[in-house]
Chain A
Amino acid sequence: MKSYLATAARALATTFTNAFRKPVTVEFPDVIRPRAERYRASFALLHEEDGDEACIGCLQCERICPSEVISIKAGGKRESPITGKKRGYADDFVLDLNACIYCELCVQVCPTDAIVMTREPELPAFGREDLVLTMAKLYANEKSKHRAWGDATRLNGMQVPPKPPKAEAPAAVSAASATGAPATAAPSARTVAPAAAATPASSGASSAPASATALPAASPPASSPSAALASAPVPPIATPGAAVVPLPAPDTAPGQGPAGETPGTAPAVSTAERGPVPPDSSREGTS
Chain B
Amino acid sequence: MTALRTVQITRRVDPHLSIDRYDPEGELMLLHFGPQHPSTHGVFRMDLYLDGEKVVKVVPHVGYLHRAVEKLCETLAYVQITPIVDKNDYVAPMTNEQALNMAFEAALKLEVPRRARWMRTIFAELQRIASHLLWLGTFALDLGGALGGGSSVFLHCFRERELVLDLFEEVTGARFHYNTHTIGGNRHDLPAGWSAKVKAALDIIGPRLDEYEAMTLENRIFLDRTIGVGKLDAELALELGITGPILRGCGVDHDLRRDAPFHAYDEVKVNVVTAQGGDCLARARVRFGEMRESVRLVRQMVDAVPEGSINSGKPVKLPVQSKIPPCQVYVAIETPRGELGTYLISDGTQFPYRLKIRPPSLHALSALPYIIPGGTVSDAVAILGSVDPIMGEVDR
Contacts and interface: CB of A to CB of B under 8 A. Distances in A.
B114 A155 contact: no
Nearest to A150: B173
B235 interface: no
A234 B313 contact: yes
Q: Report, nearest first, the 4 A-B pairs whose CB atoms are least far apart.
A: A209-B312, A38-B173, A103-B83, A210-B309
A71 interface: no
A74 B30 CA distance: 60
Interface in A41-67: 60, 63-66
Contact of A104 (B81, B156, B173): B173
A234 B173 contact: no
Interface of A: 3-4, 6-8, 10-11, 14-15, 18, 24, 35-40, 60, 63-66, 101-105, 108-109, 111, 117, 148-150, 155-156, 158-161, 176-177, 179-182, 197, 200, 204, 209-213, 215-216, 219-221, 223-224, 226, 229-230, 232, 234-235, 237-240, 258-259, 261, 263-264
Interface centre among B111, B211, B214, B220 (most CB of A within 10 A): B111
Contacts of B230: none
A285 B111 CA distance: 35
B213 to A, nearest CB: 10
A158 B188 contact: yes
A36 B192 contact: no
B270 interface: no
A40 B81 CA distance: 19
Contacts of A24: 159, 162
A111 B317 CA distance: 9
30 contacts: A7-B219, A10-B215, A10-B218, A24-B162, A36-B169, A60-B317, A64-B317, A64-B318, A64-B319, A66-B84, A102-B174, A104-B187, A105-B83, A155-B315, A158-B187, A180-B189, A180-B305, A182-B189, A182-B310, A209-B312, A212-B309, A213-B309, A220-B114, A221-B114, A229-B109, A234-B313, A237-B314, A237-B316, A237-B317, A239-B317
A159 B267 contact: no
B319 A211 contact: no
Contact of A215 (B109, B114, B267): B114
Contacts of B294: none
Contacts of B316: 109, 237
Contacts of B190: 180-181
A216 B112 CA distance: 16
Interface stretch (B8-16, B124-132, B177-185, B336-344): B177-185
B192 A261 contact: yes
Given A158-B189, A223-B261, A261-B192, A104 B312 contact: no
B173 A117 contact: yes
Contacts of A65: 80
A11 B149 contact: yes
B169 A3 contact: no
Contacts of B313: 234, 237
B219 to A, nearest CB: 5
A7 B83 CA distance: 45
Interface residues of B, number: 68
Interface in B70-96: 76, 79-84
Given A38-B170, A160-B309, A210-B115, 16 more contacts: A10-B219, A11-B219, A18-B156, A36-B169, A38-B191, A60-B317, A64-B318, A66-B80, A104-B173, A105-B179, A156-B315, A179-B193, A182-B310, A220-B114, A234-B313, A261-B192
Given A15-B152, A212-B309, A230-B111, A36 B173 contact: yes
Nearest to B262: A225
Contact of A8 (B170, B171, B172, B220): B220
A36 B219 contact: no
A160 B310 CA distance: 8
B118 to A, nearest CB: 10
B188 A38 contact: yes
A4 B250 CA distance: 27
B110 interface: yes
Contacts of B81: 66
Interface in B280-335: 305-319, 321-322
A66 B63 CA distance: 24
A150 B192 CA distance: 15
